[in-house]
Amino acid sequence: MNHMKSVLFLMVVAMLLLSACGGGSAATSVPEQPGDATEVPATDAPASEKKVVTFSWTQEFTSLSPLYSTGWFTAVTQQFWNCWAWNYDENNEPYPYLVTEMPSFENGGISEDGLTITLHLRDDIKWSDNEPITSEDFRFSWAMNIDPKNIVSSTYPEDLVTSIDTPDAQTVVLHFDTPSVAWQSLFTGIVPAHILQPVYDAEGTLDNAEWNNNPSVGCGPYNFAEWESGSYARFVRNDNYFDAPAKIDEIFIRFVPDDTAQTTALVAGDADLGAFIPYSEVPRLKEAGVEIMTQPSGFNEGIFLQVSEDFSHPAMLDVNVRKAVAMSIDFDSFNQDVNLGLVKTPGSFWDALPYYNDPPVEPYPYDPEGAKALLDAAGWVDSNEDGTRDKDGVEFIIQHGATTREVRQELQAVAQQQLADVGIELEILNFDADLFFATYADAGPTYSGELDLQEWSDTPSGFPDPDIYYWLCSEVPSDDNPSGTNSFYICDEELDALIQEQASQLDPAERQETVSKINQIFHDKVYWIGAWQDPDVWAVSSRLTGVKFSGVTPFFNITEWDIK
């Protein structure tokens, strides 16, 4: 014992002695001063001629399986190694990919009553292990999605399909109870039955299938190679791909959670592609020769107004007051100055869908004097001269809530001042997204009706389809309906009927008419105020060629991308 003790003592003393006497010479052995370091990172071309591109993503994907994935980054990753029934081009128009043609009334793909949709599969499509892709894969993908034993991310719109027939290997027949426009969002990614059926049979669920995070078999132009959590993922060219092979050999995805660090990486040439670039980063990127490409993907940043007898500020129940609020905020200047003129103020929730935003709805112009006149006429005047308008002893103070995204907070600050100028006091609140969107049952601020103005970026569900559903009366949250999504508490019978009507109109022309009516109601009753268009913003290295994006399936032409 004593002996051990002295040995340990000696070791400690020796360590201290060494470090004390080491002095300056020791400094060279430790990478303390990066500036003095002579090492040069290997940025020269690699020894082999392998073409590798690096994509920088600010969020890691969750699961790779189309069934379990949540979030945008996972969905776009599927473009590399998985396949959708149909893809969308740079104009966000669908074109057949696994099917021979898009089903329609004309070609009989959609039955007259809209209750049956028939897909004809190409006969040359195959998985990366050379197994053919058949109607069974489609049926299996659907069945797994709605199976209660699988904790999938979303069962919509698969749960609208009542059954699927597979008369032969190339024919998939979908049956519906009611016609639904959501069919276009089906089969956004499929899973291989020949790999996963045995797993399901053995385990009773696909939740723990190894394939989910290590999809050895896929059907896209690239094969999944590896994924190191928090660090990177690699995809290599699929030599068994059934279409024209990709030109680039490998896609390397690096997860960079910080916007500033991502820009620095793009500027330094450590990344070739970045997504979700904040507008404030654009000048720095352009200066470094990085190209900025925008692609409408249906999203618009907007202010959702809560109009509820129970929860809203009484002033907000008056449509003219809501109009005045819209006219008091100078969105155009904000977009010109803060968003650097890269985006415009959308007048419509369907701004990214010109076909449905027809005739195009213009935003309310910035007109503080007009707003004051409207407020005066509505009886909201500053009777006690405290700077804020009031009526019947109620001060005009409303709440504006948003997540903690910076540009939102900037708009809030600007809006606060501009509304103060017309005599409306705006209280600003910020929440993390998981709090902001927490349910009525969890007393989340939006769904509990605490916010008169709610700001986030949203899209018609199933873009490029114009469908919406939040404003349905059946979505209003209550004790009996704790998961309702109508945080605006708007139950407008006319609007409700139109929203229900359009959801089953499979004929585009009829649909256009209905959506136009909804669009006009939104504008006239001021249920939604557009702040700025929110397209996908990509930063693309100048060494990439052939780059195109779609707002739905961003990497639809990834096989044509190349390195200069």
Partner 1 sequence: MVRYIVKRLFQGLPLLLVISITLFLLMMNIGDPIATMGGRTITRQSDRERLTRQLGLDKPISVQYLYWLIGNDWTKVDSDGDGIPDNYGTRHGILRGDFGTSLVTRKPVTELIGERIPNTLLLMVASEVVTVFFALLFGIYSALRQYSVMDNIMTALLFIAYSMPIFFVSLMSMYIFAVLFKKWGLPYLPTVGMFDPQVGKTPWQIFIHMILPVFSLSVTYFAAYSRYIRSTMLEVLSQDYVRTARSKGLPRRQVVYIHALKNAALPIVTVIGLDLPFLLGGAVVTERIFAWPGMGRLFLDHVSRSDLPVVMGILMLVATAVVVFQIITDIIYAWLDPRIRFD
Partner 2 sequence: MNNQTPTLSELADDLITPPLTLWQLGWLRFRRHKMALFGGVILILLFIFAFGGAFLYTEKYANFNDTSQRLLAPSAEHPFGTDSIGRDILARTIYGGQISLFIGLVSVIIETILGIIIGALAGYYGGVIDAILMRITEAMLNIPTIFLLIVMAKFFGGNVPEIEIAGRVFSGSVIVIIVIIGATSWMYLARIVRAEFLSLKENEFILAARATGTSNSQIIFYHILPNTVAPIIVSSTLSVANAILAEAYISFLGLGVMPPTATWGNMLESSAKYLDSAPWLWFFPGMLILLTVLSINFIGDGMRDALDPRSRTI
Kindly tell me which residue out of 207, 243, 358, 376 binds partner 1, with binding defined by CB under 8 A. Answer: 207
Residues in region 281-320 near partner 1 by CB under 8 A: 299
Interface size with partner 1, residues (CB under 8 A): 93
List beta partners, residue 41.
Answer: none
Our CB check for partner 2 shows the closer of 22 and 283 to be 283
List beta partners, residue 544.
Answer: 563
For the packed helices 193-203 and 135-146, what is the interaxial angle rounded to 10 degrees?
Answer: 40
In this structure, are residues 332 and 366 in contact, taking their beta carbons and an 8 Å threshold? yes
Residues in region 67-126 near partner 1 by CB under 8 A: 68, 70-72, 74-75
Which partner in partner 2, partner 1, none is near 359 (CB below 5 to 8 A by kind)? none
Which partner in partner 2, partner 1, none is near 283 (CB below 5 to 8 A by kind)? partner 2
In this structure, are residues 263 and 281 in contact, taking their beta carbons and an 8 Å threshold? yes
Which partner in partner 2, partner 1, none is near 500 (CB below 5 to 8 A by kind)? none
* Assigned token pair, 537: 């913003």
Residues in the chain: 564
Residues in Cβ contact with 513 at an 8 Å cutoff, skipping those fewer than 6 apart: none
Kindly tell me which residue out of 129, 458, 560, 562 binds partner 1, with binding defined by CB under 8 A. Answer: 458
Q: Is 128 in the site for partner 1 (CB under 8 A)?
A: no
* Assigned token pair, 549: 């994006």
In this structure, are residues 472 and 487 in contact, taking their beta carbons and an 8 Å threshold? no
From 172-180, 276-284, 342-350, 497-505, span contacting partner 2 (CB under 8 A): 276-284
Our CB check for partner 2 shows the closer of 93 and 434 to be 434
Dihedral, CA of residue 255, residue 261, residue 262 and residue 267, to nearest 10: -140
Interface size with partner 2, residues (CB under 8 A): 32
Which partner in partner 2, partner 1, none is near 16 (CB below 5 to 8 A by kind)? partner 1
Our CB check for partner 1 shows the closer of 130 and 208 to be 208
* Least distance (Å) between residue 342 CB and partner 1: 19
Q: Is 491 in the site for partner 1 (CB under 8 A)?
A: no
Residue whose entry in the numeric block shows the structure tokens 């590798």: 52
Q: What are phi and psi of 166, to 5 degrees?
A: -130, 80
Kindly tell me which residue out of 111, 116, 118, 153 binds partner 1, with binding defined by CB under 8 A. Answer: 153
Instruction: Single out the residue of 343, 357, 297, 330 nearest to residue 556, CA to CA.
Output: 297
Q: What is the end-to-end Cα distance of the chain in Å, rounded?
A: 70
Q: Is 301 in the site for partner 2 (CB under 8 A)?
A: no
Q: Is 54 in the site for partner 1 (CB under 8 A)?
A: yes
Kindly tell me which residue out of 432, 494, 507, 510 binds partner 2, with binding defined by CB under 8 A. Answer: 432
* Assigned token pair, 559: 């096989």
Q: Rounded distance, CA 226 to CA 251, Å? A: 11
In this structure, are residues 135 and 168 in contact, taking their beta carbons and an 8 Å threshold? yes
From 46-54, 314-322, 369-377, 549-557, span contacting partner 1 (CB under 8 A): 46-54
Q: Where do contacts with partner 2 occur on this chain (CB under 8 A)?
A: 259-260, 263, 278, 280-281, 283-284, 333-334, 336-338, 404, 406, 409-410, 412-414, 416-417, 427-432, 435, 443, 445, 450
